Amino acid sequence: MGGGEITKRGKGLVVLAVKTFPEDAVKETLAEIKEEFPDLEFHYIWPKFEVKKNDMPDSDESEIPNIKFIQFVSAGTNHVSKHPIYTDTKIPLCNASGVHGPQIAEWVVMTDLIHNHNYLYLYEKQRKKEWKHSNGEISSQDNVGRTVGILGYGSIGRQVARVAKAMGMKVLAYTASPRKTPESKRDTGFIVPGTGDAEGEFPDAWYSGLDKKSLHAFLKLKIDLLVLAVPLTPQTTHFLSTPEFALLAANPTRTYIANIARGAIIDQPALVHALHAGQIAGAALDVTDPEPLPKDDPLWDAPNVLITPHVSGVTSTTGERCFQVVRENLRRVRDGRGLVNEVDRGRGY
């Protein structure tokens, strides 16, 4: 979105292009924005066709003068990291970090519970109309005392931690850089009220590093549920591959992996091998490499894997929350404050 000065009295222009949800899906927050910024002119564009991931206009700053910021509806911006708007301009880019935390955390917990309580087995019994219950036939486990390791302690990881703590789990956080002070542990991005971990209070321990030595030290810990929530960057591409799965294999309770980040965080052929070899307990994947996952990909038939088509962040409230970020950034531009969720181009997120 861009346009003229956004002031308390000045006339401005906001152009909104949204591929995921129609205007009716965001009408409440959009109405609030229009009420708060009555001098802004809105053009809501909802393309009713599939937008490919690299379909952004080849525009520069001269073609859209005085642009204030571009707001993405995704938490990641790796899909446009090679686009001229990203590489050749200084236009502020803002992601939707924080918007997807509640629903994705629920997806993580849901798939972990499906695994722990053998629900797929029980569902097959239901489909066959079989009432079978005998001690020792199936083995279930609750989450009390288990450990969740969260690779990438952003808004999603923080909400996973909140829910995990409520279930009696131990939380281990892992970030790119050390977080040794209270200030460094705070979440300064957009937060859905009543969710997340604004002060960084939930982790029982905090680890960090983008180097393999640091990652391997983390993976050697007894982690029951490993949640991948890191952004996709050159440093995190194939963050988990053959050596990492070999380390996880040493865990006597076997680690269950949930990937809600990007498919390329995992070396997929190595994952397929780890599943067949029993190096890990299983995997829940909302992302794959590539997407869509081809029908003949061996990942489909790997044992103990749950696959969903990149939908964990999509709910009926997603659109409204995205426009709550827009509203906050409009306020910040008007008031001369820094933007929320602004992408650091150097870091890639």
| Active-site residue set | 262, 291, 310
Count of C-beta atoms within a 10 Å radius of residue 206: 17
CB 289 within 8 A of CB 80: no
Count of C-beta atoms within a 10 Å radius of residue 57: 11
At 270, list the tokens.
């190595």
d(CA 252, CA 264) in angstroms, rounded, equals 27
Print the SS3 string covering 76-106: CCHHHCCCHHHHCCCCCEECCCCCCHHHHHH
Return the residue matching tokens 């950034």.
329
Classify the C-alpha dihedral 289-266-251-180 as positive or negative: negative
Rounded to the nearest 5°, which phi and psi values hold at 282?
A: 160, -175
Return the residue matching tokens 């007894």.
222
The DSSP call for residue 286 is: S
Return the residue matching tokens 């703590």.
165
d(CA 330, CA 322) in angstroms, rounded, equals 13
Helix or strand (DSSP H, E) at 324: helix 318-335
